[in-house]
């Protein structure tokens, strides 16, 4: 009887171990987003921009570790260029996006990265009009710098003294993608080219960015 119980325990342990091993490690890393409108500002500044600005954004992800659909995405980067007919804060705005995946990704990684972003961030992106490859560099140091030549670039700095945390009532929007530990960033420069489906744009010297970590 004792031997039978030990055998059963062994089988259960092996089964549990196999099940645990088969559970996918969620992808996680760093996220940054810059818009064509201030996300942290006084109410007059916010209302002045709302009707005519804030219709474009650049989103970027760097995967530090994890896998999606059984495919490791560690080390990969992605950029989404989002455009809308109205301010992106308007829930009825018709959004569309062009998605760019790190050119170093394999075909399987590319498909998994696209699936992960569309599954977890689809509401913020709207209709994904196209998916292309791009050389994407994502560097997180004193600033977060994203460079996708011919597509978009970002240089985002932390706000001094975390002003957005001290005055949360002046944060007017929410990030377009899920983000943990959300902070507002100071946009030294954010730009996007016209190959992304609309007019080229560039913004600088404003509190128009969000950044933080993500896990999904």
Residues 183-192: tens digit of each pLDDT: 999 999 999 9
Look at residues 50, 137, 161 and name the one whose alpha carbon lies nearest to residue 145. 137
The domains of the chain are located at: 26-215
Query: What's the CA angle centered on 119, arms 34 and 103, to 5 degrees?
Result: 65
Contacts with 165 (C-beta within 8 Å, 6 or more apart), sequence order: 183
More confident position, 177 or 5: 177
Contacts with 42 (C-beta within 8 Å, 6 or more apart), sequence order: 170
pLDDT at 164 over 80: no
Please return the burial class of 191, using the count of CB atoms within 10 Å of its CB with bins 0-12, 13-18 and 19+.
middle
Query: Looking at residue 20, what is its pLDDT?
Result: 40
pLDDT at 10 over 50: no
Query: Looking at residue 93, what is its pLDDT?
Result: 92
CB 201 within 8 A of CB 17: no
High-pLDDT (> 70) share of the chain, %: 89
Query: Looking at residue 22, what is its pLDDT?
Result: 46
Query: Looking at residue 160, what is its pLDDT?
Result: 81
Query: Looking at residue 167, what is its pLDDT?
Result: 86
Residues 100-158: tens digit of each pLDDT: 999 999 999 999 999 999 999 999 999 999 999 999 999 999 999 999 999 999 999 99
Contacts with 215 (C-beta within 8 Å, 6 or more apart), sequence order: 26, 27, 28, 66, 180
Query: Looking at residue 90, what is its pLDDT?
Result: 93
Query: Looking at residue 14, what is its pLDDT?
Result: 44
**pTM value surpassing 0.85:** yes
Mean pLDDT of the chain: 90
Query: Looking at residue 97, what is its pLDDT?
Result: 97
Query: Looking at residue 11, what is its pLDDT?
Result: 40
Query: Looking at residue 23, what is its pLDDT?
Result: 61
pLDDT at 54 over 90: yes
H helix or E strand, kind and range, residue 187 = strand 180-192
């Amino acid at each position: 009887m004792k031997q039978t119980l030990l055998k059963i325990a062994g089988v259960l342990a092996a089964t549990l171990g196999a099940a645990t091993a088969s559970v996918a490690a969620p992808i996680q890393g760093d996220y940054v987003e810059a818009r064509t409108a201030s996300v942290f500002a006084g109410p007059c500044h916010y209302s002045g921009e709302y009707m005519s600005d804030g219709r474009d954004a650049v989103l970027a992800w760097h995967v530090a570790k994890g896998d999606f659909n059984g495919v490791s995405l560690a080390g990969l980067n992605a950029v989404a260029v989002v455009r809308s007919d109205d301010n992106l804060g308007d829930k009825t705005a018709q959004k569309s996006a062009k998605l760019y995946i790190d050119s170093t990704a394999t075909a399987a990684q590319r498909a998994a990265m696209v699936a992960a972003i569309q599954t977890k961030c689809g509401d913020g992106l709207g209709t994904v009009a196209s998916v292309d490859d791009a050389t994407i560099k994502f560097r997180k140091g004193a600033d977060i710098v994203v460079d996708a030549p011919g597509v978009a670039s970002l240089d985002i700095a932390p706000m001094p003294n975390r002003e957005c945390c001290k005055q949360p009532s002046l944060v007017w929007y929410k990030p377009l993608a899920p983000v943990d530990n959300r902070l507002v960033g100071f946009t030294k420069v954010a730009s996007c080219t016209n190959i992304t489906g609309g007019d080229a744009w560039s913004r600088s010297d404003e509190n128009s960015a969000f950044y933080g970590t993500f896990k999904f």
